[in-house]
Structure 1
Amino acid sequence: MTVPAADPGMLNPVTLFMTADWVVKIVMIGLAGASIWSWAIIIDKAFRFTALNSQADTFEKALSSGRSLEDIASQAGPNPAHALPRMLVVALADWRETRARGTLTEQQGNLLISRIDRSLDSIIAREGIRIEHGLGVLSVVATASPFIGLFGTVWGIMNAFGRIASAGNTNLTTVAPAISEALFATAIGLAAAIPAYIAYNKFSIDAGKFSGRLESFADDLQAAVARRLGAPTAPVAPPPPPPSDFAIRRAD
């Protein structure tokens, strides 16, 4: 028996979309929109992380050049856009404000370090939220797209069985269009999910590394302030309690 040749136009994505059932069309349009959205986020994050790390490298080179912290902060301006110089500006502003009140006691120095710590933690938290913005979309696209595409596949196969029942035969030309539409929906779902999954994992790692970079700089800033105050960087252990009267009587 001779099997009819497949129509080459059947594999054309435009033809597959135009001949698809309206439910499969909605699935295809939704997956295509999710893919475009995720690619916009991927491109934005790629440029953003490249710029952030490049600016951080430049700032750290300035720190290692031997220049004073005040000089670097003055060059950065009163409200830097990057988190690292902004942390330096905030720490030095608290330092100058406290020093302007006169000689610092040990308690005032500890309060200053605590205040700087809270300010730096706030900057790190806000920066973490900013750089992770959009990663949730990539996560949703990566996890949901294959299942949405599978729904389109199941619906297309249901249509294929419907055509078999209405035609009364199992000829390949009867069911091939519906099966092709179903598999095309699955392909679009995978095309949307795979890049989103890879990008989500990469940018999550990049965000964690950048947050760790900010936390390390915050520790260095607090240590620098502690050295200026002449205070230890670690809390001093409290003195041991005096012996009780019972212990003194036993010693006698």
Structure 2
Amino acid sequence: MNPFFNTDAATLSPVALFLQADWVVKAVMIGLLLASIWTWAIIIAFSRRVARTRREMAKFERDFWAADDIDAFYKVHGTSELPSARVFAAGVSEWRNSTAASPIDKSGTRERLATAMGASVAAEIDHLSDRLNILATVGSVAPFVGLFGTVWGIMRSFTSIASAQNTSLAVVAPGIAEALFATAIGLFAAIPAVIAYNRFSHGVNRVEASLNRFADGFHATLSRQLDGAR
């Protein structure tokens, strides 16, 4: 029989440790396992999302800088859901509103363009990183939840030892192992969450830097057009 699925407590297999645990410790283990599954689901989905977003943003920016007519480009790409497209749309919208009146307030237009695109960049980054708080929460809380299960299990083991009046290793080991298994599951959930959070935070920062560079370049383009306007 596979030792992993052996239900004999003496084997200290994960299944045996779970089955022999107190109901409180079982609840902790189940909660941590669900948190681990949720964490991995977020990791897989977020990694794909960031990679796809960066790839499509790079293509959008190449097409934009190669375009000759901003208005024609806006008609085709202005409704795209890409972060860089939304920053572009925010800049175009503010440009049209600010230059509709005559005479044009050039200084005020530049400030409003920067504000509009800066706000759009911030909104896109908030939207992109909305799941990172879950990874941060799991990474910081899961070890303590596992520790709670361990403390509860050890208290139960000591109570059983006192009742049986037997301190032999054969009596103590299974209960202690059940308790420590909760901490192990807590670390199993927390470690990938912390690593993924740090990695994805770096990825989001790179997306933000790319958006800011695009916004600055687009602002400079519009500013040059503004210099030629009357």
Same fold (TM over 0.5): yes
> In structure 2, what is the equivalent of residue 92 of structure 1?
92
Write out per-residue CA displacement over residues 41-65 of structure 1, whole angstroms, 9 at most, x where no aligned residue: 2122111101110111111221343
Distance 2:98 2:25 in 1: 66
User: What is the DSSP-based 3-state SS (H/G/I as helix, E as strand, rest coil) of the residue aligned with 1:170?
Assistant: coil
User: What is the DSSP-based 3-state SS (H/G/I as helix, E as strand, rest coil) of the residue aligned with 1:230?
Assistant: helix
> In structure 1, what is the equivalent of residue 73 of structure 2?
72
- Report sequence identity in percent: 42
User: What is the DSSP-based 3-state SS (H/G/I as helix, E as strand, rest coil) of the residue aligned with 2:81?
Assistant: coil
Distance 1:193 1:99 in 2: 52
Distance 2:100 2:60 in 1: 28
TM-score (norm 2): 0.87
How do residues 227-246 of structure 1 correspond to structure 2 at under 5 angstroms? 227-230=224-227
Q: Of Structure 1 and Structure 2, which has the larger fraction of its residues in helix? A: 2
Query: Are residues 168 and 224 of structure 1, via their aligned partners in 2, closer, same or farther at CA, if it must alter by over 3 Å?
Result: same
Displacement of 1:91 in angstroms is: 2.2
TM-score (norm 1): 0.80
Distance 1:164 1:97 in 2: 78
Unaligned runs of 5+ in 2: 1-7
> 2:90·2:120 contact (CA, 8 Å) conserved in 1?
no
Displacement of 1:99 in angstroms is: 4.5
Write out per-residue CA displacement over residues 182-223 of structure 1, whole angstroms, 9 at most, x where no aligned residue: 121011000000000001111111111111111111111111
Return 216-225 or 60-69, whichever deviates more: 60-69
Higher Rg of the two aligned structures: 1
1:173 aligns with 2:174: no
Distance 2:224 2:115 in 1: 19
Write out per-residue CA displacement over residues 153-201 of structure 1, whole angstroms, 9 at most, x where no aligned residue: 1222222222222222222221222112112101100000000000111
> In structure 2, what is the equivalent of residue 194 of structure 1?
191
Write out per-residue CA displacement over residues 52-84 of structure 1, whole angstroms, 9 at most, x where no aligned residue: 10111111221343543333322214x220121
Return 143-152 or 112-121, whichever deviates more: 112-121
Letter in 1 for 2:124: E
> In structure 2, what is the equivalent of residue 224 of structure 1?
221
RMSD between superposed Cα atoms in Å: 2.1
> In structure 1, what is the equivalent of residue 56 of structure 2?
55
Aligned with 1:128 (options 113, 125, 145): 125
How do residues 25-64 of structure 1 correspond to structure 2 at under 5 angstroms? 25-64=26-65
Query: Are residues 69 and 8 of structure 1, via their aligned partners in 2, closer, same or farther at CA, if it must alter by over 3 Å?
Result: same
How do residues 147-166 of structure 1 correspond to structure 2 at under 5 angstroms? 147-166=144-163
Displacement of 1:97 in angstroms is: 4.7
